[in-house]
Every structure is written in structure tokens, then in C-alpha cells.
């Protein structure tokens, strides 16, 4: 029996933030992916968006950020996150985390008003890739003019600007490793032609919440998402497949990636 499939994660998820950093390059939309260092206990060697867990210091530095969000975007952090019951300080701190992690890992300096909420991913109790749980809010932002991104060499050992389609192709051919939230986000990004289209979409649409439901079988596992017949939420919330199946050492839609994008 696969030990991973027997385990159950009892602890509550850790709050985290991730930034889908975008740029337009030669008339194509690219996003920044970082390769996590092997020394990390979470997502070793996987290619991810910049981000990390919320620190206590982020909670202490929220007043100016929350004011900025309110004045520049005419909404408070809770409304932007589509979480009206969230503690205001925690909501604002998530914006701080997103900006701080992006600066630490890439050298890119963002301000809270430059962020748009994209999605929220809550790791299930049943492990699919790791034994840690996160409540991660994903933001989207354009690379500010005059700035360049470079991996820090500590938390990330490599980085690349890449189109969503090329990233998925590399994953499908086992050239890079991706986690399910990155897979599904990249599929969604293939629908946009440039960074501003993506920002506009995030500005005018509510961030969706994804709580994957895990179906465990001998030697394999399937992640189902809202809209799938086996998921408690019948309403599909994001484009792309409603399930990913672990097969041939990676997750992929049952129909294959070609059913959703031209690889």
C-alpha cells in the first residue's frame, strides 16, 4: 500500500500567498516560474510562482498596506480576497506576504495596489503531493516597468519567463515538475493574449476558491475540482479539466492535456 495514500493531515492549513507575475514579450504572454531548491521541505525541485507562507512580521506591517488598498482600489483587502469574514489584519497581511516573497525571491518590488486577486487554493486533508497544508491566495501582477526578475539562488535555484503553453508542454513531457495549482493556473492563462487582458479579467471577476477533493486508489490518486461529479461543489469555478489523475509519474487530465490546449 502506498503510504502517502494512507495518511491524513490533521493540522490546519498555513496561510500563504503566491504571485503570478506576468510580462508581454515578443507579442506573447509570459509568466515567471521559479525552481524550488532541494533544501526545502516543500515542493523540492518543482517549478512554482513566487510566494511563501505568511510570517508574523507580515501581520505587524499591515496598516499602511490596507490603507493603500482601500484608497487605490476602492475596496478593502477582505473584499478583494472575496473573504468578507476574514480578519482585516490577516487579509491585509496576505498582500504584504505576496509583495515580500516576490521581492525576496525575484528582486521585483511590488506594491499592494498592483496586485489583483486570482484564486485561493486550500490543500486537502488527504495528501496528494506533500504532507503539509496551505491556504494559499494567488495574486496576479504585471512586471513593473524598468524592473527585472532574477531568482535568489537560495530558495529558488533557477527561474524562467515562459508562456503557459510551453510550461505545460514541458510538464507533459516530464521536463519540469509542477504542482496541481500551477497546472490549473497555467491552463487558465492560455486563454489570455497579453498581461493587461489577464489583469482586467482579475479586476472584474471574483477570485475563486478551490478545495480539491482527493480520490485515493491503490498506487494512484485523483484530484477533483468544483464541477466534477465526484466533488462536493457542483458548480465549476475555473476553466480546464475538473480532475487530474496521477499517472506515469505526474498529474494530467484523464483526456490528456491536448483536450484543453494545443501542445
pLDDT in tens, 77-122: 888 888 888 888 888 899 999 999 999 999 999 999 899 999 999 9
pLDDT at position 137 is 96
Would 41 be classed as within a structural domain? Answer: yes
Contact partners, residue 246, CB within 8 Å, separation at least 6:
128, 220, 221, 222
Q: How many domains does the chain have?
A: 1
Would 220 be classed as within a structural domain? Answer: no
CB atoms within 10 A of CB 224: 21
Written as nine digits, the cell of 29 is 504572454
Written as nine digits, the cell of 263 is 501542445
Contact partners, residue 6, CB within 8 Å, separation at least 6:
none
- Calpha distance 61→89 (Å, rounded): 9
Would 76 be classed as within a structural domain? Answer: yes
CATH of residue 28's domain is 3.90.79.10
- Calpha distance 37→49 (Å, rounded): 13
Q: What domain range includes position 48? A: 3-210
**Burial of residue 121, with CB atoms counted within 10 A of its CB: 0-12 exposed, 13-18 middle, 19 or more buried:** buried
Maximum CA extent, the chain? 55
pLDDT at position 7 is 63
The DSSP string of 153-198 is: SSSEEEEEEE-HHHHHHHHHTTSS---HHHHHHHHHHTT-SSHHHH
Would 246 be classed as within a structural domain? Answer: no
Roughly how many angstroms between the first and final C-alpha of the chain, as a whole number? Answer: 34
pLDDT at position 73 is 46
pLDDT at position 71 is 47
pLDDT at position 2 is 43
Would 16 be classed as within a structural domain? Answer: yes
pLDDT at position 68 is 62
Would 224 be classed as within a structural domain? Answer: no
Q: What is each CA distance from 106 to 11, 34, 120, 156, in whole angstroms?
A: 30, 9, 22, 9
Would 223 be classed as within a structural domain? Answer: no
- Calpha distance 130→62 (Å, rounded): 30
pTM for the whole structure? 0.89
pLDDT tens, per residue, the chain with 263 residues: 344 445 656 678 899 999 999 999 999 999 999 998 775 455 568 999 999 999 988 887 776 666 666 544 434 788 888 888 888 888 889 999 999 999 999 999 999 989 999 999 998 876 555 567 899 999 999 999 999 999 988 888 999 999 999 999 999 999 999 999 999 999 999 999 999 999 999 999 999 999 999 998 777 889 999 999 999 999 999 999 999 999 888 999 999 999 888 76
pLDDT at position 170 is 95
Would 125 be classed as within a structural domain? Answer: yes
- Calpha distance 39→43 (Å, rounded): 10
Amino acid at each position: 500500500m502506498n503510504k502517502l495514500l494512507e495518511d491524513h493531515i490533521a493540522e490546519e492549513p498555513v496561510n500563504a500567498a503566491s504571485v503570478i507575475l506576468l510580462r508581454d514579450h515578443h507579442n506573447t504572454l509570459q509568466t515567471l516560474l521559479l525552481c524550488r531548491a532541494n533544501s526545502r521541505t516543500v515542493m523540492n525541485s518543482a517549478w512554482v510562482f513566487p510566494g511563501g507562507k505568511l510570517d508574523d512580521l507580515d501581520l505587524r506591517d499591515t496598516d499602511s498596506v490596507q490603507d493603500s488598498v482601500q484608497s487605490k482600489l476602492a475596496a478593502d483587502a477582505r473584499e478583494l480576497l472575496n473573504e468578507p469574514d476574514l480578519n482585516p489584519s490577516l487579509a491585509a497581511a496576505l498582500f504584504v506576504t505576496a509583495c515580500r516573497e516576490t521581492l525576496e525571491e525575484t528582486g521585483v518590488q511590488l506594491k499592494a495596489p498592483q496586485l489583483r486577486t486570482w484564486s485561493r487554493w486550500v490543500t486537502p486533508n488527504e495528501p496528494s503531493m506533500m504532507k503539509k497544508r496551505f491556504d494559499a491566495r494567488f495574486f496576479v501582477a504585471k512586471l513593473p516597468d524598468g524592473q527585472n526578475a532574477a531568482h535568489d539562488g537560495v530558495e529558488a535555484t533557477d527561474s524562467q519567463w515562459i508562456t503557459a503553453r510551453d510550461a505545460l508542454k514541458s510538464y507533459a513531457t516530464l521536463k519540469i515538475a509542477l504542482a496541481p495549482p500551477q497546472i490549473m493556473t497555467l491552463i487558465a492563462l492560455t486563454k489570455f493574449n497579453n498581461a493587461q487582458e489577464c489583469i482586467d479579467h482579475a479586476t472584474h471577476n471574483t477570485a475563486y476558491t478551490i478545495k480539491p477533493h482527493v480520490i485515493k486508489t491503490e498506487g494512484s490518486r485523483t484530484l477533483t475540482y468544483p464541477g466534477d461529479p465526484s466533488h462536493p461543489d457542483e458548480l465549476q469555478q475555473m476553466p480546464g479539466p475538473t480532475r487530474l489523475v496521477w499517472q506515469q509519474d505526474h498529474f494530467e487530465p484523464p483526456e490528456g492535456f491536448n483536450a484543453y490546449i494545443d501542445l
